[in-house]
Amino acid sequence: MSHSMNRNYSFNSGRLVIVSNRLPISLSQDENGEWNVKPSSGGLVTALTPVLHRSGGLWLGWPGAFEIDDLESLMQQGSESSGYTLKPVTLTEEDINLYYLGFSNEVIWPLFHDLQSRCNFEPRYWSRYQDVNTKFAEAILYTTDEDDYIWVQDYHLMLVAKALNSMGEDRHLGFFSHIPFPPPDIYAKMPWRLQILRAMLEYDLIGFQTMRDRNNFIHCIELLMDHISFDTRRQVSSVILSGHETKVGVFPISIDYRDFAHSAASDFVRDRSKELIEAVPDRKIVLGVDRLDYSKGIPERLRAYENLLERFENIRGKITLIQVVVPSRTEIPEYNTLKKGIEEQVSRINGRFAEAGWIPVNYMFRSLERRELLAYYRAADIALITSLKDGMNLVAKEYCAANTDSDGVLILSEFAGSAAQLHHNALMVNPYDIEGVANAIYRAYHFTKEERQLRMRRLRRTIARRDIYWWVDSFLQTAQSSPTSEVVTEG
């Protein structure tokens, strides 16, 4: 519910400043080499826009391209269409290779998703990660003053507060981690484990997606650091290091529920979803929608689906898996290997089980335009989410919000962050349990309409109550509250 859009954050008369790896725009060149700028859509941008607008705020980040002659006028255009100021942080190709593709996505991403065997602890990556975080800190230094509230987003920029403080400047600094935080036995494998923890504790407020992430973070500090004092009795904990207090809270991110539900109810989406249903008559549609990433558990899901068809002959021909894989990080060799493996699995399953007029798996490797995606959500009888580890997994929430008939089943990995909020009414699975996931699909297939609707209505209510505006609200309220005041953050 978007009531919280009306809240007026004063930030001691300063502005809200969002800092993220990428600016919320996309740049493209036409055939004449002219650059075009288009504002990005997405829940985070939508929710922050009103607050940025009101506080005359700014957004700092990399524009997404190298060596643009006319960067200033493009930023001007982007700022005008966004309704707040965009400030570019210019990065080189080598920066992106070492800091982004390297440290962020070959060290932090796998380690924080409990997949440490995939880490590449290359010292050059760490060195460049520090340099780029310093570049971001310098950009903040030159474009803000001490009344502004700086809200840094995600794992690419964990060192920004430390870099800024080492310049001798005082800023109000918050950090939100969109990805999980690993337990101590996994985190301890990070060669730069202490430097990262110390740097994070230079923020005034750190937000995590789930209580598990917050507890993992606190346990890592307890085990790896000395001279720390804690207060974990409250909803928002506090950690004191060298006289500096850091508040640590849980703020599960969400979607713009009303916008999703409203768009999904449009004539276009309704008609398109009917077409999708008619294309597979008398069959239930199981839907998987994931970015190409090994943390999403796509190979495990396909194995479970194959196991379902093996063990339950009576379901063959009555169910279709539509698996959408959205291209991502294709410049990293491991992601191409993953894609190849998925495609081999799909053709094996189809080769084994297909019959005239029935293909068990419909596979797409592409992005779906938003209205098309909503039509798939509406058409699907079952959404199948088998993340091996996920910060939140917004597909789970999007599927429910788009389910305007309240007639669908959510099968959800217990290792997705959204499980903390949705576990009561989703069918919970361990993605490593191939037969267990197959059994859950079989069970969902046989649910009565009453059971499907009861569960889905409850899921929709849970998501509507804690939407993306609630998320922005709860973080910024906590940022501005005194250390002792309570802000309820998870439930």
258/269 Cα distance (integer angstroms): 15
Residue closest to 375 by CA, chosen among 268, 280, 278, 285: 268
Active site residues: 178, 390
Which helix (H) or strand (E) covers residue 401, if one does? helix 394-402
The DSSP bridge partners found for residue 61 are: 88
Supply the DSSP symbol for 322.
E
Can you list the alpha helix ranges (DSSP code H) found in 240-393? 257-264, 267-279, 298-311, 333-353, 370-379
Residue closest to 332 by CA, chosen among 107, 103, 22, 106: 106
The tokens 């009303």 sit on which residue? 258
φ/ψ of 65, rounded to 5, equals -150, 160
Burial of residue 123 (CB within 10 Å: 0-12, 13-18, 19+) is exposed
Contact 300, 386 (CB under 8 A): yes
Residue closest to 471 by CA, chosen among 364, 377, 372, 397: 397
- CA-CA distances (angstroms) from residue 260 to 48, 173, 291, 400? 17, 31, 19, 9
Q: Which residues contact 412 (CB under 8 A, 6 or more apart)?
A: 385, 393, 396, 418, 419, 422, 423, 426, 427, 428, 429
Q: Residues 225, 228, 234, CA angle at the centre, nearest 5°?
A: 120
Residue 127: half-sphere exposure toward Cβ, Cα within 13 Å: 4
71/66 Cα distance (integer angstroms): 10
Tell me the two tokens of residue 273: 């979803």
The tokens 């966004």 sit on which residue? 82
- CA-CA distances (angstroms) from residue 184 to 56, 214, 219? 41, 12, 7
Can you list the alpha helix ranges (DSSP code H) found in 232-266? 257-264
Q: Hey, what amino acid is at 286? A: V
